[in-house]
A and B are shown apart, each in its own frame.
Chain A
């Protein structure tokens, strides 16, 4: 997985946003992370601690809102959580489904001083 390159992008993004706001210190970062991205939050956390040393983001607390995968049946509109093995609708067994959640990878907000 590519947690390191994701964390580098994350660092750039939060430093940029903080600078735009004229903030000198970032104390928290709120991240929304979808299950299907395959990104593991504690690796991002560990990389962030490393990369943020001697930057305004040093010591910032990362908070992850983990979003499970979610799908919607195109047949009966039932919303469900698919598993690795079953991507058919549990209500009507249709295979015609649309992914509606679990793809997220964004910064919702940052906490600055």
Chain B
């Protein structure tokens, strides 16, 4: 006998993600799922954002890492509430990992939650974590052809941050060509050019982050 199912294989993950989303928006926390290749500058961008928004918002971080806790320690030393999830070799965070982490965070004292996903441009794409916005970072040394290679992640992002613009004179990254291709694939996303070293572009990026916080608050007042 054949039984029609027509269910997404990651259905269970999506359901937990929905619980996370309810919990987070209920607490009026704006969560950002931050995705990129290893070393594109996720942790650095979080640090710069914290510095920029220090007086305006309370920021916490969930750090997804394959095994180490270096990033979480770096953030804790900078005074940021950070919690580490070790995926034990896993190539992405999933909603239940984030759910456990949320149980260990002071949710009443957080406005913005960064979730630093595992460095990977394919796997995190299929896993909703319950975030409010998805942000992809691409660093200039990686080249401007990435949207073609990882179309899903790029097409589903709410914002794209091109990081390491300070290296533009030294790398073959054609910003115009990149923007044309990316915006052809994703018409909604905001596009930022930043440098985690010089601080260029962080201001505009931080404005977008706070605008999303305001938007979430307006929707959940």
Contacts and interface: CB of A to CB of B under 8 A. Distances in A.
Interface of A: 1-2, 5-6, 9-10, 12-14, 17-18, 21, 23, 31, 36-38, 69, 82, 84-88, 94-97, 99, 103, 105-113
B55 interface: no
Contact of B149 (A23, A84, A106, A109): A84
B6 interface: yes
Nearest to A4: B90
- Looking at B1, B147, B187, which has the most chain A CB atoms within 10 Å of its CB? B1
Nearest to A69: B151
B28 interface: no
Nearest to B155: A99
- Looking at B5, B123, B148, B187, which has the most chain A CB atoms within 10 Å of its CB? B5
B38 interface: no
Contacts of A87: 147-148, 151, 181, 184-185
Given A110-B3, A111-B1, A112-B1, A99 B185 contact: yes
Nearest to B147: A87
- Looking at A10, A18, A38, which has the most chain B CB atoms within 10 Å of its CB? A38
B94 A5 contact: yes
Contacts of A96: 184, 187
